[in-house]
Amino acid sequence: QYDCTYSGKFSYANLSYKAFKNLIFMVNIYFMKIYMFEKKLEKRWLRNMMSNASKLGGFISRVLVTHLFF
């Protein structure tokens, strides 16, 4: 896989560079996963809050309507 015709130093540098790139890639994926997960949680939390608010609003409006008209 790796060309051994390079001088040892250069191939070692190339290898370490590849390893470094892979590491950076892995770290990026890891942070992206965390970020996406937090975004998902945030969205879910927002949606829950919105549905709760609408439920609460519906309840309040129902109470107001029943108290005003009955």
Specify whether the CB–CB gap between 42 and 49 falls below 8 A: no
Q: How many domains does the chain have?
A: 1
pLDDT (0 to 100) of residue 52: 83
pLDDT in tens, the chain (70 residues): 555 555 556 666 777 888 888 888 888 888 888 888 888 888 888 788 888 888 888 888 888 777 766 5
As a whole number of angstroms, the distance between CA 33 and CA 1 comes to 31
